[in-house]
Chains A and B, each alone.
Chain A
Amino acid sequence: MVPTDPIQNLAEIRQIRGGGAVPVYISGMHSGQNPCSGLGIVRCLRDAFSPEQIRLIGVDHWQGSSGLHHDLLDEHWILPPWNQIQNRLHADAIRERLVAGAYWISAMDVEVRWLARHLGTHPHLLAPPLKAVHRTAKPAVQAFDSMGFRIPEYISAKESDADIHAFLREHSWRCWIKSPFHEAARVPNWGALQTFRHKFSNQWKTKRLFVQRHIGGVEETFTFAAYQGELLGAVRMEKHQLTWEGKTWAGRVSELQGEHREDLVECIRSTGWTGGGELELLKDNSGQYYIIECNPRFPAWLYGSAIAGHNLPGLLLSRAAGIEMRGAAADRPRSAYFTRVVIEIPANSEIGIPMPPEPGSFVWSPDGKGLKGGGATVALPSSQSDEDLAGGDAEGDVPQGVTEDNAAVVSEIKRLLSRFRGETPERLTLPENTRGIFHDLESRVRAAASERPRVRIGFSVKTSPTRFHLQTARECGFLAECISQMEVKRALATGFEPRDIILNGPGKYWPLTEAPRTGLSMVFCDSIEDFDRTSEISGIARTRGFRLRVPGIASRFGVPVEDPVIFRELVKRVASLKGRADFGVHFHMPGWAIGLRRWTQALGSILGWCKTLESLSGVTVKRLDFGGGLFPDDLQRLNLSEIQKRVHQALPEVEALYFEPGRALTQSGEIVVSRVLDVRTQKEGRGRKVTECVADACIAELPLSAGAIRPVYLFRRAGGVPGGEGRLTRLQPGKARILGRICMEDDILAGALELPSDLREGDLIVFGNAGGYERSMSYGFGRG
């Protein structure tokens, strides 16, 4: 292998125009755990053509791309990292080579887009044109939309947090956040969404991130080679083994045939595609294909296709350059199956390998790409941004959505704040809003009364044990759900009768120094032992039963039915209730965390276990209690009638269903008012932008801030006069943060907000959704 001086190389290219080996540049030689396809292309071309026919030149922007060392390469060309590349200089250098007779095959997504933008098309540039590249943007992948693939549901990451949160709940937090062209990350919780949204938007310089539902299925790809709109070859590859990062390790390759091939021919023609391409697909158990993404280049496992007798780069170069492939070696299938190995090869001393990382500068990365001084393959060209999508048919600009504020709530907040003169931070209750929520639910329960089983509501005392909330619950005919004897006393003191109380939880008899209150409505036991203890308390409740822990729903509560020995004991205890008490079953289904879809799936699971228990014990279930709480919006969407029907069909003896909406009743009914203590700015253009402010509230008043979805407002009185009318402005998404007043690292009350440039000390910042556990779990801190 010869180190290549670009100028000297150019002279060589010119020399070979009249004959000799055709130079072929292959860029993207990274060969780590997440490899580029450069080395695969090199191996395919070397199989297909003799050294007399072609000369292979490996190109990369990082010395650490180990494919550069492979002895199949005749030459190498190492360029500066992408973010140091002068676009015009680099484009000219490539163009000169193309004009001189060389061919260029790119194995890097980033470079394919750059080439399309800065070089346009050339017969020797074996990469798709800009109009085709534009149409590969996720999630729609419009270039191939006529192939009939489904697109998993998605939402733009520019939508409001409330809408994104609703989408994530809807899909049970089994979702991905993706950029339109590069990278994806799982989103199992809100923290992950915030982290990756920030990371991807900065790293890939795009606002077009989106959140997409996960699809369970077998991964397949359709991979092809095309030249100027003509499909030259296409294969289907089923992934059999994946790496931890989800990359192919072994698979089966077959020729793409039938309708899929015919459709692909048409898509290739209509886009004028040149070069390699890969459609990444998921096939679910019903055989339906979902398109995940389109890579506008060959995939890294490409040599596996040549092993199966489909040498796609060979076909491409043969068609473009008019040189014949070497017969049998190029197309004889050796196996439909391929696997990868890891091997060591001598490093080329002319290239060298990167210096060991200085320990202090080490950035943890599974692929070794995150080291300072390296990582060029993931760096973006300085020009790349959403501009690359301009003119494309990719998803259009979605305005930054902010969920419409409830006008009545805003009006109530304004009225309260106009009168507010007190010290801050202060939690204020929105009585009208709260009563509205309670009474709305009461109306829905009344409307459901015509069907069986009847519906009752349990108000979880722990979510907000204020007199106002308890009395409102009682006015609406709700029961009080208590988890301790202290809460029972509290409920009784507010006017609840014992028969209106549900006793639940792992510590329901705390404190043990007091005799448990009897004559309650229902008691649910958290363990077999708890049941045995409860059985000794005479007259504890009319309905006795268990809280069950069902498989597939992570919970620390209840009797785990997945243990067959415990299950047998459970059946015995349920049978013992015959003629002694009504049997009830409680399920803790954290709708807040699992979302409504999975909540509904879990309901099916629960009804199944209830039927099994009925059949084995001979005791019918009389009451079903659904605990765990719901997200406020989900409470609205919960179809009571549908649930009544499902329960009645499965368990006809159930007389009543109890819902415990938890924080959904109280969370949005309170606000925390705080004052700005400090405003921090950074220079931006001619002015300054506000990057952070410190509020006098903190995580002691808002303990669930880390994962909270809440509106945050700025309130200013007209003319600064206390008592006067004020202007309440909801803060829009941005990059600023609101920090709390205390010296704790995690005291961050809100992130990703736009703070006005004229924000000043003393301004009122108002945090919505400050009721529920934000109230009941708040604590005194840093007050001396």
Chain B
Amino acid sequence: MGLVAVKNKGILQDLGANLGSMELMRSEVNARKWIEHTASEITHHDGDCCRQARAWILGMAQSMENASLCESGIRVPHWLSDHFEWGPSEWPISWCELVRLDIIDCGVFSALVREIFQEQGVRAHPGQVVIHYGETCTKHWRGLWDEGAQKLPSLSATRRDERYFPWVGKNLVYHEICVVEAEPGLARLYDSTWGNWYHSDIRNGFGSIVAVRTQAPLELVWGDRTLRSGEWTVMA
């Protein structure tokens, strides 16, 4: 199958080129929200509170980098997934808020790892993916999020739609990762939530990437696909 890259709003139509994906996407109530959603960014209060929190994150990253067993190439901040647990976050989220948390969502993980990579001098860009799972998983995740969201202090029922992004679908989920420009023109997709790299040749089945989008300002090749800035690229 050839490359299918589409602009945000046209993705539902263009996904028709791939019947399997189309079927999956059609059954997803929130598909349009995923497609239109911009990559998560951490807000900065422009004060000491956030300056201090950001400095602390980067200080931690530098220390852990120095203690890493890998002494060459990209030093991946594995410590993030040890320090934070994965779960619902309340958006928008600021630096000074997130350092007080034990639980963060994939958007925060992704934004954090980008900052850390950039501090290391590694070109890192926002990455958004739609991943194929199945209802047996998504039901649990929806439950987990519903339960977790109740614990978020300022999240009232009426404001949930504003702050709790509906990332869990029926068979697909929306997820945020980090696109790393490992070599000029070549992309690697790092999932900071779980601390692993994605393989471009896994095109179907549990955990496979159905579509990917990056905000990298230039074209990057990932496997046999070319990722263009701001465009969703269908992988399935």
Chain A interface (Cβ within 8 Å of chain B)? 174, 214, 216-217, 252, 284-288, 336-337, 550-553, 561-562, 564-565, 567-568, 571, 598, 601-602, 604-605, 608-609, 612, 615-616
Other than A564-B99, A605-B62, A609-B63, give 5 A-B pairs with Cβ distance below 8 A: A216-B68, A216-B70, A551-B79, A553-B67, A609-B59
Q: Is the CB of A564 within 8 A of B59?
A: no
Chain B interface (Cβ within 8 Å of chain A)? 48, 51-53, 55-56, 58-60, 62-64, 66-76, 79, 99-100, 199, 201-202
Q: Is the CB of A216 within 8 A of B69?
A: yes
Q: Is the CB of B64 within 8 A of A288?
A: no
Q: If the complex has contacts A252-B199, A285-B73, are A601 and B59 also in contact, measured as CB distance less than 8 A?
A: no
Q: Is the CB of A564 within 8 A of B100?
A: yes
Sampled A-B contacts (12; CB under 8 Å) = A174-B69, A216-B68, A284-B72, A286-B72, A288-B72, A561-B63, A562-B60, A564-B100, A571-B52, A605-B66, A609-B59, A615-B55
Q: Is the CB of A336 within 8 A of B201?
A: yes
Contact for B52 among A252, A288, A616, CB less than 8 A: A616
Q: Closest CB of chain A to B141's CB: distance in Å?
A: 23
Q: For B51, list chain A residues within 8 Å (CB).
A: 616
Q: Is the CB of A551 within 8 A of B67?
A: yes
Contact for B67 among A214, A217, A605, A612, CB less than 8 A: A605
Q: If the complex has contacts A564-B53, A605-B63, A608-B59, are A285 and B70 also in contact, measured as CB distance less than 8 A?
A: yes
Q: If the complex has contacts A216-B70, A612-B59, are A551 and B64 also in contact, measured as CB distance less than 8 A?
A: yes
Q: Is the CB of B66 within 8 A of A601?
A: yes
Q: Is the CB of B71 within 8 A of A216?
A: yes
Q: For B70, list chain A residues within 8 Å (CB).
A: 216-217, 284-285
Contact for A552 among B53, B67, B76, B100, CB less than 8 A: B67
Of chain A, the residue at the smallest CB distance from B49 is A568
Contact for A551 among B60, B73, B201, CB less than 8 A: B60
Q: For B48, list chain A residues within 8 Å (CB).
A: 616
Docked CA distance A553–B60 (Å) = 12
Of the listed residues A214, A553, A568, the one surrounded by the most CB atoms of chain B closer than 10 A to its CB is A568
Q: Closest CB of chain A to B67's CB: distance in Å?
A: 3
Docked CA distance A217–B69 (Å) = 9
Q: Closest CB of chain A to B230's CB: distance in Å?
A: 28
Q: For A598, list chain B residues within 8 Å (CB).
A: 67
Docked CA distance A252–B70 (Å) = 22
Contact for A564 among B56, B67, B79, CB less than 8 A: B56
Q: For B58, list chain A residues within 8 Å (CB).
A: 612
Docked CA distance A65–B166 (Å) = 53
Docked CA distance A552–B201 (Å) = 35
Q: Is the CB of B62 within 8 A of A604?
A: yes
Docked CA distance A150–B67 (Å) = 23
Q: For B64, list chain A residues within 8 Å (CB).
A: 551-552
Q: If the complex has contacts A564-B53, A616-B48, A616-B51, are A214 and B69 also in contact, measured as CB distance less than 8 A?
A: yes
Q: Is the CB of B53 within 8 A of A551?
A: no
Q: Closest CB of chain A to B199's CB: distance in Å?
A: 7
Docked CA distance A608–B55 (Å) = 10
Of chain A, the residue at the smallest CB distance from B83 is A562
Of chain B, the residue at the smallest CB distance from A608 is B62
Docked CA distance A567–B56 (Å) = 8
Q: For A615, list chain B residues within 8 Å (CB).
A: 55
Docked CA distance A288–B100 (Å) = 39
Q: If the complex has contacts A285-B74, A564-B53, A615-B55, are A551 and B63 also in contact, measured as CB distance less than 8 A?
A: yes
Q: Closest CB of chain B to A190's CB: distance in Å?
A: 20
Q: Is the CB of B73 within 8 A of A286?
A: yes
Q: For A551, list chain B residues within 8 Å (CB).
A: 60, 63-64, 67, 79
Q: Closest CB of chain B to A784's CB: distance in Å?
A: 49
Q: Is the CB of A550 within 8 A of B199?
A: no
Q: If the complex has contacts A562-B60, A612-B55, are A602 and B69 also in contact, measured as CB distance less than 8 A?
A: no
Of chain B, the residue at the smallest CB distance from A552 is B67
Docked CA distance A216–B67 (Å) = 12
Q: For B62, list chain A residues within 8 Å (CB).
A: 604-605, 608
Of chain A, the residue at the smallest CB distance from B79 is A551
Docked CA distance A285–B180 (Å) = 13
Docked CA distance A571–B52 (Å) = 9
Contact for B63 among A214, A568, A571, A608, CB less than 8 A: A608
Of chain A, the residue at the smallest CB distance from B201 is A336
Q: Closest CB of chain B to A562's CB: distance in Å?
A: 6
Q: For B69, list chain A residues within 8 Å (CB).
A: 174, 214, 216
Q: Closest CB of chain B to A646's CB: distance in Å?
A: 13
Q: For B72, list chain A residues within 8 Å (CB).
A: 284-286, 288
Q: For A550, list chain B residues within 8 Å (CB).
A: 63
Docked CA distance A567–B62 (Å) = 15
Q: Closest CB of chain B to A573's CB: distance in Å?
A: 13
Q: For A287, list chain B residues within 8 Å (CB).
A: 73
Q: Closest CB of chain A to B181's CB: distance in Å?
A: 14
Of chain A, the residue at the smallest CB distance from B62 is A608
Q: For A552, list chain B residues within 8 Å (CB).
A: 63-64, 66-67
